[in-house]
Amino acid sequence: MTSRSFRTRAAVLVLLLTATALPASVAQADPPEEVDQSLLVPTTLDSSFAPFTCRVRRTGPVCTGERHLDTGWQPVDFPCHTQLHNRFVSYRHQTRYYDHDYLNYDRHFRSRDIDYFSATPGGPTTATIITNVRFDEPFGVRGDDSTVTIITTGTIWDIRPADGPSLVRVVGTVVEPPGEVGTFSGHVTREGVTTHHEETPLDEVMPETYFFETVCRAATGG
């Protein structure tokens, strides 16, 4: 037997002996500590994500929740020449991070939302707006909701008729500091023509009038 193979076998034997000598308490970790949600700041968890699951982690409490929405068909007040009806379907997952003083300092989300539109009650769908994003909400001051900056990344809007290509597709990152108009960095494709934007005010990227006109055209064909 070579000295190398001996050292290898000796190392394996040591690992086996060490494993058998470990107490049972090492092999089975204690379950995460529960969180008194009444101590969290801000104190109110979004009820649409209930029930939240909160556990104490190394950095402090972490709470997670999911929201599933389906509004069903209902009339919507869009300035189209035809009355539109809308159905909103959304899946969103949220994670909230707190420090050891139970102050919320960040939130992470995953969200996939689809707005369905129809010119008749109950469908069929004639147009959709798809949003597929992740967004973060870091706090400027821990525990103070008014200091949150919203940073959204992914497909912000994809507006298309049910039987055709996108009329407008906005993909990139939106940054919305508290109390300010958001800015967009990324690509906007309008009917096959793509333009690049860098920190452009969001209301310039998608003016409200243009947004409504595009949805109306996608849903009604004119």
Instruction: Give the Cα-Cα-Cα angle 117, 122, 126 (nearest 5 degrees).
Output: 30
Q: Which of 49, 84, 91, 85 is nearest to 70 (CA)?
A: 91
Residues 34-52: b if buried by 16+ CB within 10 A, e if exposed: ebeeeebeeeebeeebeeb
Span 123-134, pLDDT tens digits = 999 999 999 999
Residue 15 has what pLDDT?
35
Q: How far apart are CA 73 and CA 75, in angstroms?
A: 7
Residue 30 has what pLDDT?
57
Q: How far apart are CA 14 and CA 173, in angstroms?
A: 53
21: three-class secondary structure by DSSP? helix
The DSSP result for 36-90, as a single string, is: -GGG-BS----GGGPSPEEEEETTEEEEEEEEEEE---EEE----SS-EEEEEEE
Q: How far apart are CA 188 and CA 94, in angstroms?
A: 27
Tokens 């034997």, residue located: 13
Residue 34 has what pLDDT?
75
Span 136-178, pLDDT tens digits = 999 999 999 999 999 999 999 999 999 999 999 999 999 999 9
Residue 17 sits at φ, ψ, to 5 deg, of: -65, -40
Q: How far apart are CA 212 and CA 203, in angstroms?
A: 13
Residues of the chain with pLDDT under 50: 1-27
Residue 21 has what pLDDT?
42
Residue 46 has what pLDDT?
85
Residue 35 has what pLDDT?
86
Residue 179 has what pLDDT?
93
Per-residue tokens: 91: 């899946």
Q: Which residues contact 19 (CB under 8 A, 6 or more apart)?
A: none
Residue 44 has what pLDDT?
79
195: three-class secondary structure by DSSP? strand
